Structure 1
Amino acid sequence: MAVLTDKTALVTGASRGIGRAIAERLAANGALVGVHYGSNDAAAKEVVATIERAGGQAFPIHAELGIEGDVATLFAGLEAGLGGKPLDILVNNAAISDGTPFEHVTPEWFDRSFAVNVRAPFFIVQRAAGMLADGGRIINISSAVTRIASQFVHYAMTKGAIEVMSHTLAQALGSRGITVNTVSPGVVNTDMGSWIHSAPGIEEAVVHNIAMGRVGQPNDIADVVGFLASDDGRWITGATIDASGGHWLGPNMS
């Protein structure tokens, strides 16, 4: 399904989990994909190799986010990989969360979370705006925790900021035909979601409150991103799309 032939994409945090699935989906749809990663060189190279084995095109970009010079490093790698081509699709997926509950969050960890989860995507979009082709796509990955009360208050706050940024930028960039949307996963079976396997009964309790009756998989989110990145998503902007399988919609009736 080469609906993104001749398009280019940057996916942050693409060496594992949801980001990897998104990078592979966009590449399968025909895009040349910049696979950003923060530290795991081997994992990023494996994503690129997997894409290439499937007939797609990709290149790795190493840049630690949340530190001085992060955006400059990221875009130096992106521009080198694109070889003068404009950017068509930006997916801000990279984020950190260690599951620290409210009462144990330190000022240092609070600042680090906002540096990676909010400041970095803000300035990535700011830098990317000049590279983005008219009619381009910006897709930001948030979380269902913005509508579900949880003990991970600081993480939810960072994702709430992402959602506000998305619909505000949708208004600002709409005149160029650029859409800006947010995708909000629920519990997904990734490294970040591994807490569901930390003790007996946790996964079953989580699934009990998901309308679709199972934990999400990375491809569930990647498919939504693939739709928004394609021409089929051209008339959706400023939206937050819940991709949680119906997590915490209300009391379970079964």
Structure 2
Amino acid sequence: MRHVIVTGGSRGLGLGLVEGLLAEGYWVSTCSRRPSDELQHLHGPRLFWQAADMTDGDSVIRFVEAAATWGVEGGATLWGLVNNAGIAREGILATFPDAETAAVIQTNLVGAIQTARTVLRHLLRQGGAGRIVNISSIIGLRGYTGLAAYSASKAGLDGLTRALAREVGRRGITVNSVAPGYLDTEMSGTLSAEQRRQIVRRTPLGRLGTAADVEPVVRFLLSDAAAFITGQTLVVDGGITG
């Protein structure tokens, strides 16, 4: 009866995380700006969805509070958070619009901080113990031309992971990041066919990743088996950054 909150669970990696956690027996709350058909097909007594905009702090807080109440009413204990919601906007920084920069940083980093803060307040009121997993990216570790704002936001998530792990470790709460490589999801749809071929050629395992490659790693970090792992960034990229 453990309850995990997953942001951005309507499609792509987030949807895969929601599916995997439900299959594992977790109660799952998720949010997105609007529901997808795929998410609606997963409806059931252990799934809660509410619209939320990660660029709107009040919207984020309302979602977490509603999710927490739903879990308590169902008898599930709030256990973890997966900060997955994110957007990518491509463009050379010298000509990149301020509005686009703000949207990326607010969604990927500030929204994650606000969500973590609200969830942590609930975990601490419960007496501690729990898990936070931030979905960062190898782009935050290595960079990529045309993705400076995105790279900065994901590097910021890894910094958040390390600092927060020190803050809450003594309360039995672990904080880790998972840094996926290039995934065959909607977010990689802006890659040209040649870019995809280049990435596949540079990847030792010879393919793009999938949500199914990342979900078990997140699930492991949420589990009791990962109780002594905190402040770490686990890379899941088919070897491309090796």
Structure 1-normalised TM-score? 0.87
Residue identity in the other structure for 1:126: R
> Where in structure 2 are the equivalents of 1:207-246 lying within 5 Å?
207-246=200-239
> Where in structure 2 are the equivalents of 1:146-225 lying within 5 Å?
146-151=140-145, 152-196=147-191, 198-199=192-193, 201-225=194-218
Taking every aligned residue pair, what percent have the same amino acid on both sides? 28
Query: 1 CA distance for matches of 2:27 and 2:11?
Result: 18
Instruction: Return closer, same or farther for 1:131/1:203 CA change in 2, 3 Å cut-off.
Output: same
Match of 2:104 among 99, 109, 113: 113
Deviation, 1:41, is 4.9
Q: Say whether the 8 Å CA contact 2:165–2:231 is kept in structure 1.
A: yes
Deviation, 1:237, is 0.3
Give the structure with the larger helix fraction. 2
List runs of 5+ in structure 2 lacking aligned partners.
none
Residue identity in the other structure for 1:95: G
Instruction: Return closer, same or farther for 1:82/1:34 CA change in 2, 3 Å cut-off.
Output: same
Which residue of structure 1 aligns with residue 81 of structure 2? 90
Deviates further, 161-170 or 203-212: 203-212
Which residue of structure 2 aligns with residue 252 of structure 1? none
Residue identity in the other structure for 1:206: I
Residue identity in the other structure for 1:76: E
List runs of 5+ in structure 1 lacking aligned partners.
1-5, 250-254
Determine whether 1:64 maps to 2:53: yes
After superposition, what is the alpha-carbon deviation per residue over 1:17-55, rounded to whole angstroms, capped at 9, x for unaligned? Answer: 111111111111111000211223544323x33xx4xxx
Which residue of structure 2 aligns with residue 34 of structure 1? 29
SS at match of 2:129: strand
Query: 2 CA distance for matches of 1:136 and 1:247?
Result: 31
Residue identity in the other structure for 2:216: D
Q: Say whether the 8 Å CA contact 2:55–2:111 is kept in structure 1.
A: yes
Deviates further, 213-222 or 92-101: 92-101
Query: 2 CA distance for matches of 1:185 and 1:41?
Result: 23
Which residue of structure 1 aligns with residue 92 of structure 2? 101
Query: 2 CA distance for matches of 1:231 and 1:9?
Result: 14
Deviation, 1:98, is 2.7
SS at match of 1:69: helix
SS at match of 1:66: coil
Which residue of structure 1 aligns with residue 136 of structure 2? 142
Query: 2 CA distance for matches of 1:31 and 1:248?
Result: 32
Which residue of structure 2 aligns with residue 79 of structure 1? 68
SS at match of 2:187: coil
Deviation, 1:68, is 4.6
Deviates further, 184-193 or 31-40: 31-40
Q: Say whether the 8 Å CA contact 1:209–1:248 is kept in structure 2.
A: no
RMSD (Å), alpha carbons:
1.7
Match of 2:119 among 116, 119, 128: 128
After superposition, what is the alpha-carbon deviation per residue over 1:130-176, rounded to whole angstroms, capped at 9, x for unaligned? Answer: 21252200000000012223121110000011000001101111111
Aligned length: 236
Structure 2-normalised TM-score? 0.91
Q: Say whether the 8 Å CA contact 1:37–1:44 is kept in structure 2.
A: no
Query: 2 CA distance for matches of 1:243 and 1:65?
Result: 25
Determine whether 1:44 maps to 2:39: yes
Deviation, 1:76, is 3.4
SS at match of 1:247: coil
SS at match of 1:130: helix
Deviation, 1:115, is 1.0
